[in-house]
Amino acid sequence: MHAAPVRANALPAVTTALRAVESLLMGSGQRTARRNAWNAVLEDRRRARDRVEAEHVLSAVADRRS
């Protein structure tokens, strides 16, 4: 059973507009913290996809040996 791909890409115009609003409302430290947090979320998702893929490969190898 394959998991559906996770999409985290926003439209460029929307992203630009949100960053502009963010820069008006928050200080640079908060912007950096928010950006770092989002990058951590994306990295966690990537690791989760890699882990699921590795489980599928290991399962397939184990099934062949049986």
In the 8-state DSSP scheme, what is residue 17? H
> What pLDDT does residue 12 have?
77
CA distances from 59 to 1, 9, 56, 63 (A): 12, 31, 5, 6
Residue extents of the structural domains in the chain? 12-65
> What pLDDT does residue 9 have?
62
Backbone angles phi, psi at 16, to 5 degrees: -65, -45
Q: What is the pLDDT along the chain (66 residues), one digit of tens a residue?
A: 556 665 656 577 888 888 888 777 777 788 888 899 999 999 999 999 999 999 999 999 999 987
How many whole angstroms separate alpha carbon 22 and alpha carbon 27?
A: 9
Q: Can you give the pTM of this predicted structure? A: 0.54
Q: Which two tokens stand for residue 27?
A: 């200080």
